[in-house]
Amino acid sequence: MTSVSNGSLSLLNFFVFNTEYGPREGEEEKKLLFYHPSEVDIDTKIKRIGLAEAVVKFTETFSDKPCQSVHNQKSRQLFFEPEPCFWMLMTVSIPYKEKVKDGQTVTEYKEDQVQDSVFESILKQAYKMFKLFNGTFTTILARANGEVESLRQRLEHFYSKYLLTLKLPQGDILDVFNGIHFLPLDKNTYLRIQCFINSLEAAFPFVKYTAFLYNEKLVWSGLEQDDMRIMYKYLTSSLFPTYLEQELHGGSNRPTSGLGHYGKFMTGPPDLNNDKNMGKLPRVFVNTNEIDEECYLIVYTALSATICLLVNVRSPLNVPLCRKLDAVLGPQMTKLASDISEQYSKRVAALNSTEPVFKYVYFNHMNLAQQTTVHIDLQKRSGVNIPQELLRLLGDINAEVSRDQEDGETIVKTTSDYWVVGKKSDQREFYVVINQRSANLIDINEEVKRLCSTYLNSIFFLE
Amino acid sequence: MENLTEAESNQEFRGRLDRYLESGSIMAVEEDHYYINLCKNPIRFEPVSRANNVFFDDANKQVFAVRSGGAMGVVMKGPEEKAMISFRMEDRGDIISIKFSGDKKILAAQRSIKTVEFLNFQEDMSTDQQEYSQSCKGEATEIRGFVWTNICEIVFITSTGLEHYQVIPEKRTLKRLKTLSLQINWYFWMANSSLLLISSGTLGNVLHPFQFKQPGIITRLPKFEVDLPVVPKPPKLSLLDRDVLVAVIYEILYIVVLRHPQSTSCGAEIVLYQLQKEGPAKKTDILKLDMSGRFAVNVVDNLIMVHHQASKTSVIFDIRLEGKSDGYVTYHHPVLPALGIKPFKLLLPSVNMQAGTDKTEYNCELYSANWIVFQPDIVIDAKLGCLWILKLNLDPLVTMIPDKDRLIQFLLCRRDSKPVILFVCAQMLIPGHQASLQSLARVYDLLNRIYKQYLDAEAADASTGGSSKKVVIEQSDMFTHVFSVFEEYKDIKYKFMVAVLIEYIRSLNQFSIPVQHYLYELIINILVHNNCFYQLHQFLQYHVLGDSKPLACLMLSLESVYPPAHQLALDMLKRIQTANEEIIEVLLSKHQLLPALRFIRSVGIVDTVSSRKFLEAALSTEDSMIFYTVFKFFEQRNQKLRGSPKFQAGEHCEQYVKQFESQFGQEAFMPVPSVL
């Protein structure tokens, strides 16, 4: 029995359509808003949409909940209706292995390697990311006086790039949580940051919302949770890595101010002496105070500290204003960053001094706080600390736990002699992977109790 | 200054704010342009005349009006006296100096340069008129003056030294304790600190401090030399007694020396010498007057107040406020530009009978040539027969010192400044006068630094608590008088309110002062009213709002508007550690029976919880499985506790036992073990 070839998980198609458009026969093309891959012929596109619409309609007869996914032998299709009558579909291929058995080639599809919960989340994220930069479909249409073509253009413009950045094979439980890493910080430093932000917003009233991060971890958000969640995703998965890469390659030779601080605009004017160049300034749509409020996103960084300033697009913004911001932000952010760094390094040193024999993932649905030692870094750039099948097991336990509202605990021993424990208490989930071959169920139970009491002692987390 | 009680000071504060609100400014309301006042009710005495001599003893703050050498009567009054005292003395010549002992039992009067006479007084201030006397030693010696250093001890300051005597009134005699030889030009007696300062040397600039703290003992402190701007040739007495005084400023003894400029082009200075226990007094501060001429110096509320006769103005110096230092000496400028004392009107019996009124208003001449100032804060006009105490009026300073930072620093060092400080803090939040957050931060840090010192001192010395007279602005003061403006002014933006409270909480935390929960409640209410739940959530996440049962209960009440509040409340109760009862209540009220059972097991209180409470909650879930489980749980507990699954009568569970039986049948009960 030898393996011949493998097929990995990949994106087969991704499309957006509206069930209300083109109701008459022959006009089906009108339903189509976006389709990837674009080179597919129009007939196939229309057939796919037709099938999807049929599935949606058909399943409606059995359940109040809309159709979520369709399992095929070779592919998995995920459904999502973000706005009334607008449907987004994503199809991924099922990984397979070709084996020669008794002289015959057999293809073995690994259906269990594709988890609905993970890809549903990825699909929803794709929508939310679009919404962050473009507003809702409805808003776009309203602003374009119902001109569907403008929505098509937006979708095309956004998704043609976005889909290329998707790393589908890496999808795991963190995509399901889509949480936020918060920076542990002592009260006094936190209050200092708070006061700094307050006086900043008072001095520059056009700054409507502010978020403060350190080392890609969130410290404060003036945005609502949902807005922050997707913006956090954008910052950590796109803006920060891109910026870091530019810095490493010296792509932008920004003149350092020479004023004894390390502050720079990450988005916004690349050169403060050039009044004409505002640089690349993303516009985002947030729903904190009003629906789909369009704001400029100014990101400023000093050492490891980053501050996001959201300015309503109606407020005038120019380089001289940015110079004023820089004069205030530069020195203060530098000072705060070095103070946090001092505290942070102490904390990290204290944690690392006792290398734990277990790995864990924690998530709180209430504040979206997530923590992981399963992943080597927070953004999954360097892979994971545990075997892939265990990572998938975490996803499975999570899916199991999510189905049931009750609190509970699941303990699994894998064939590779790992113990995996998933616990849920109220809105919190805690997953532990322990590599202790000789341990029995009682040992593991005791061990997890001990872990909870050391790591989760300040919260109400029932054993 | 009279001490305001809490209620009075509150009223005063209200009044101040109301006045302010009505007029938009304090200035417009009263003629409060003046910050130095003469006290409202001066001590009146018979003015100096040919027949009437007036003396003032600054040690006891007593004025003596002596008519005809005492034969026509002596009247003694003083700001610290309950009633005036009058008595008669034999007229045996003009009196040079007259002073009571501290207990008013012995009166000492000097009529010649050689002797001092004594007169004993009874408790009721009657006297037997039998004088006895003491002469100084030596043929050519002259008595320059005398001071009571203790109840029955007196020191003669003579031209050749000090003579220390004990007075024995019952024997009508004095006993010499000690004589000290020293050339003496003049002296200054500081009664409060029992410090006698002697000027010696040809120039008069060698100063010898002596202290009389313990009865019968003279403590000689190291002498020191005051540097003179110019030494005259030939040398003559250059440091005069009118230019030197001793003062206690911020509980430290200083020798205050007025130094006149060499030429009129530059201003005079006041030099402060801090008295040292070991070693000579140290020059620490120089106050720049930028004027020259005749000055008089007072010390009012730890401020050095300098009156300039020519310009009829006064300036104040606060050595606590920042000055420029050259590493040895700190240079200070007046807190405010020179300003006169507030005009004073005196009601005098009318001389004009035609006018019909029996009293007329008389505008007292300020900075009059007849004025004499005494330490620390007394002004006497002997021709007018008035003794005033100088007062500081803090209200006008609020507008006169625009820098809030400096203003609060200044006010914090004053007595009875609490209402004014609270007023300033409240004003800083009112739209139109709103201060920047940075400015508020600095002010709160100033307030809390002192607050912390006070709390530490109180904790270290619980027995003598409240001994400190310093003004302390506590959290409750801020809450009642300052943050209350948030209620009154609806146009203050919530963002500003939150920022202000966070700034205050930051400052408290920075000084490790535990924050009171009502501040947290205030901030939570503001956030909740403005639907800022996520911000609130983040504050709680970072423990900015400290854990407490009231706060947890507040969070529980918010659950309906913000569901995560439930989790936050439970976490908080868990951290408090003494709130197990509350946690159980919360869980049972949410019908979370199994989590509640798990919880009591995890904290080890299974044996003590009320079974009735659990069974009641279990039954109300209308879930028979839950009821069964909970019932079985407690049967097991009973079994473990008492060897029988049955509930005791005191547990009041009969109703649930019956319910269980009707629902699951007799056989469902745990079997009662048979007694062997």
**Contact in structure between A325 and A315 (CB atoms under 8 Å):** no
Mutate one of A186, A196, A198, A218 to test the B interface: name it (highest B CB count within 10 A).
A198
Domain ranges in chain B are: 591-668
Residue of B nearest to A453 (CA): B602
Burial of A385 (C-beta count, 10 Å sphere; 0-12/13-18/19+): middle
Residue A124 has pLDDT above 90, yes or no: yes
Query: To the nearest whole angstrom, how far is the Cα of A53 from the nearest Cα of chain B?
Result: 36
For residues B153 and B217, give the distance between their C-alpha atoms in angstroms, rounded to a whole number: 10
- Residue A388 and residue A333 share a domain: no
Please name the residue of chain B whose CA is at the shortest distance from the CA of residue A194: B502
Strand ranges for B41-185 from DSSP E? 43-44, 52-57, 62-67, 74-77, 85-87, 97-100, 106-110, 115-120, 132-135, 143-150, 153-158, 161-168, 173-181
pLDDT of residue B353 exceeding 70, the answer is no
CB B38 within 8 A of CB B391: yes
Asked whether residue A135 falls in the same domain as residue A206, the answer is no
Task: Indicate if A48 and A105 belong to the same structural domain.
Answer: yes
Q: What is the rounded average pLDDT of the residues B356-365?
A: 73
Q: How many distinct structural domains can be found in chain A?
A: 3
SS3 of residue B629 by DSSP = helix
What percent of chain B clears pLDDT 70, i.e. is strictly above it? 92
The pLDDT, as a whole number, for residue B483 is 92
Mean pLDDT lowest for which of A191-205, A414-428, B22-36, B590-604? B22-36
Annotate B337-361 with b (16+ C-beta within 10 A) or e (fewer).
Answer: ebbbbbebebeeeeeeeeeeeeeee
Name residue B581's amino acid: E
Q: Which pairing describes strands B282-288 and B330-332: parallel, antiparallel, or unpaired?
A: parallel
Task: Evaluate if residue B4 carries a pLDDT over 50.
Answer: no
CA gap A298, A321 in Å, rounded: 12
* Amino acid at residue number B209: P
Q: What's the confidence (pLDDT) of residue A204? A: 93
**Rounded mean pLDDT, B418-439:** 90
Per-residue model confidence as pLDDT tens digits over A336-368: 999 998 888 877 776 665 556 788 888 988 888
The span from the CA of B119 to the CA of B127, in Å, is 7
Give the pLDDT mean for B424-452: 91
Over pLDDT 70: what percentage of chain A? 92
Within 8 A by CB and 6+ apart from A148, the residues are A21, A30, A33, A141
What are the structure tokens assigned to B461, written together?
């010395």
pLDDT at A64: 84
Single-letter residue type at B527: L
Q: Which residues pair with A372 in a beta bridge?
A: A361
Q: Are residues A303 and A385 in the same domain?
A: no
Torsion angle of alpha carbons B274, B280, B284, B286, nearest 10°? 90
In the structure, what pLDDT confidence band is assigned to residue A211 with cuts at 50, 70 and 90? very high
User: If pLDDT is split at 50, 70 and 90, which confidence band does B676 have?
Assistant: low
Confidence class of residue A229 from pLDDT cuts 50, 70 and 90?
very high
Residues B338 and B315 sit within 8 Å (Cβ to Cβ)? yes
Higher pLDDT, B141 or A255: B141
Whether residue A239 sits in one domain with residue A109? no
pLDDT band with cut points at 50, 70 and 90 for residue B281: confident
Q: Are strands A419-425 and A428-434 parallel, antiparallel or unpaired?
A: antiparallel
Tokens at A94, concatenated:
């099922």
A10 touches chain B (CB under 8 A): no
Judge whether A200 and A328 are in contact, CB under 8 Å.
yes
* CA-based nearest residue to A306, from A364, A362, A247: A247
Average pLDDT rounded to a whole number, residues B438-457: 92
Say what the ipTM of the complex is: 0.85
pLDDT at A461: 65
- Give yes or no for A212 touching B (CB within 8 A): no
Is the pLDDT at A438 greater than 90? The verdict is: no
- Nearest in space to B433 (alpha carbons), one of B442, B441, B444, B423: B423
CA angle B451, B455, B460 (to 5 degrees): 150
What's the rounded mean pLDDT across residues B84-108? Answer: 86
Contact between residue B61 and residue B378 where contact means Cβ atoms under 8 Å apart:
yes
**Confidence class for position B348, pLDDT limits 50, 70, 90:** confident
Tell me which of A171, A196, A226 is where a domain ends: A171
What is the C-alpha separation between A30 and B436, in angstroms, rounded? 57
> Is the minimum CB–CB distance between B621 and chain A shorter than 8 Å?
no
Chain B residue with CA closest to A190: the answer is: B542
Whether A87 and A17 have beta carbons less than 8 Å apart is answered as yes
Q: State how far residue B598 is from chain A, nearest Cα, in angstroms.
A: 7
Q: Residues A124, A203: one domain?
A: no
Average pLDDT over residues B29-46: 78
Tens of pLDDT, residue by residue over A46-86, are: 999 999 999 999 998 888 888 889 999 999 999 999 999 99
Pick from B496, B505, B534: CB nearest A191: B505
Domain range holding A18? 2-171
A324 pLDDT above the threshold of 60: yes
Q: Which of B499, B567, B575 sits opposite A198 (nearest CB)?
A: B499
Other CB atoms within 10 A of residue A195 CB: 21
Q: Can you tell me the distance from the alpha carbon of B587 to that of B626, in angstroms, rounded to the nearest whole number?
A: 14
Residue A265 C-alpha, separation from nearest chain B C-alpha, in angstroms: 24
pLDDT digits (tens, 9 = 90+) for A240-292: 988 888 888 765 545 555 567 888 899 988 888 888 888 889 999 998 888 88
Inter-chain CB proximity B543 and A187 less than 8 Å:
yes
How distant, in Å, are the alpha carbons of A308, B399, B427, B446 from that of B433? 30, 12, 6, 20
Residue A19's alpha-carbon distances to A88, A120, B208, in angstroms, are 11, 20, 105
Question: Cβ B503–A195 below 8 Å, yes or no?
Answer: yes
Question: CB neighbours of A442 closer than 8 A, spacing ≥ 6?
Answer: none
If you average pLDDT over every residue of chain A, what do you get? 87
The tokens describing B268, both together, are: 């005079």
Place of tokens 């007075």: B167
Tell me which of A318, A350, A382 is where a domain ends: A350
For A285, residues 6+ apart whose C-beta sits below 8 A from its C-beta are A131, A132, A133, A134, A135, A136, A139, A292, A293, A294, A295
- In chain B, what residues touch A195 (CB-CB under 8 Å)? 437, 441, 499, 502-503, 506
Distance from CA of A200 to the nearest CA of B (A): 9
pLDDT at residue A458 in the model: 64
pLDDT (tens digit per residue) in A283-321: 999 988 888 899 999 999 998 899 999 999 998 888 999
Burial A308-325 (b: 16+ CB within 10 A, else e): bbbbbeeeebebebbeeb
A203 touches chain B (CB under 8 A): yes
The reply to whether omega before B376 is within 30° of 0 (cis) is: yes
pLDDT at B410 over 70: yes
Gap between the Cα atoms of A30 and A17, Å rounded: 9
Identify which of B538, B539, B540 has the alpha carbon closest to the alpha carbon of residue B552: B540
Angle (deg, nearest 10), helices B517-529 and B549-557: 10
Q: Are residues A245 and A129 in the same domain?
A: no
Give every CB contact of residue A332 below 8 A, 6+ residues apart in sequence.
A196
Average pLDDT, chain B: 84
Flag if B541 and A182 touch (Cβ within 8 Å): yes
pLDDT in tens, B540-574: 888 888 888 888 988 888 888 888 888 888 888 88
Q: Is a pLDDT exceeding 90 seen at residue B434?
A: no
Residues A157 and A245 grouped into a single domain = no
Same domain, A392 and A449: yes
Is A188 within 8 Å of chain B by CB? yes
Candidate from A52-66, A449-463, B40-54, B552-566 with smallest mean pLDDT? A449-463
Provide the chain B residues 538-557 that lie in CB contact (below 8 A) with chain A.
538, 541-544
Bridge pairing between strands B359-363 and B295-300: unpaired
> How far is Cα B604 from Cα B597, in angstroms, rounded to an integer?
11
Q: Chain B partners of A427 at a C-beta cutoff of 8 Å?
A: 564, 567
Q: How confident is the model at residue A459 (pLDDT cuts 50, 70, 90)?
A: low
Of B510, B563, B573, the CB nearest to A188: B510
Predicted local confidence at residue B355, as pLDDT = 53
Question: What mean pLDDT comes out for the span B451-457?
Answer: 90
Q: Touching check for B512 and chain A: CB below 8 Å?
A: no
Q: Tell me the torsion sign for CA atoms A163, A165, A170, A174.
A: negative
Q: Mean pLDDT lowest for which of A44-58, A173-187, B17-31, B45-59? A: B17-31
Tokens found for residue B261:
């400029």
Is the residue at A404 inside a domain? yes
A311 shares its domain with A339: yes
What's residue B129's pLDDT? 76
Q: Which long-range contacts (CB under 8 A, 24 or more apart) does B1-6 make?
A: B1/B301, B1/B391, B1/B415, B1/B416, B3/B416, B4/B416, B4/B419
Is A461 within a domain? no
* Per-residue tokens: B381: 């006009």
User: Do B537 and A367 make contact, defined as CB atoms within 8 angstroms?
Assistant: yes
Question: Which DSSP string corresponds to A367-381?
Answer: T-BEEESSBSSTTSS
A334 plus A446 within the same structural domain: no
Shortest Cα–Cα distance, B466 to chain A (Å): 29
What is the model's pLDDT at position B74?
85
A199/B499 Cβ within 8 A: yes
CA geometry: angle B133, B136, B138, nearest 5 deg: 140
Evaluate whether B600 touches B584 at the Cβ level (below 8 Å).
Answer: yes
Is B364 a residue whose pLDDT tops 70? yes
End-of-domain residue from the set A298, A323, A350: A350
Same domain, A402 and A323: no
Q: How far apart are CA B420 and CA B26, in angstroms?
A: 12
Q: What is the CATH number of the domain that holds A446?
A: 3.30.450
pLDDT at residue number B78: 83
Tell me, yes or no, if B496 comes closer than 8 A to chain A by beta carbon.
yes
The model's confidence at residue A163, banded by pLDDT at 50, 70 and 90, is very high
Length of chain B: 676
What is the pLDDT averaged over residues B379-406?
88
> How many helices and strands in chain B, by DSSP H and E?
17, 33
The pLDDT assigned to A1 comes to 44
Q: What is the CATH number of the domain that holds A100?
A: 3.30.450.70
pLDDT number for residue A273: 85
Question: Could you say which DSSP state residue A188 is in?
Answer: H
Indicate the range of B127-136, B284-293, B345-354, B434-443 predicted with least confidence: B345-354
- Locate B608 and state its tokens: 């003590």
Residues of A in contact with B496 (CB under 8 A): 202
Residues of B in contact with A463 (CB under 8 A): 598, 602
Question: Is pLDDT above 90 for A11?
Answer: yes
Is B10 a residue whose pLDDT tops 50? Answer: no
Tokens found for residue A83:
């706005």
The answer to whether the CB atoms of A185 and B602 lie below 8 A apart is no
Inter-residue contact A340 to A417 (CB < 8 Å):
no
Please say whether the beta carbons of B347 and B327 come within 8 A.
no
Residue carrying structure tokens 């050039």: A274
The residues facing A17 across adjacent strands are: A32, A87
Residue in B441, B496, B542 nearest the CB of A187: B542
> Tokens representing B435?
């201060």
**B274, containing H or E segment:** strand B269-274
- Bridge partners, B91 (sequence order): none
Q: In A, which residues are within 8 Å of B567 by CB distance?
A: 364, 366, 426-428, 460
Distance from CA of A48 to the nearest CA of B (A): 41
What's the pLDDT score for residue A159? 95
Number of A to B CB contacts under 8 A, please give it.
93
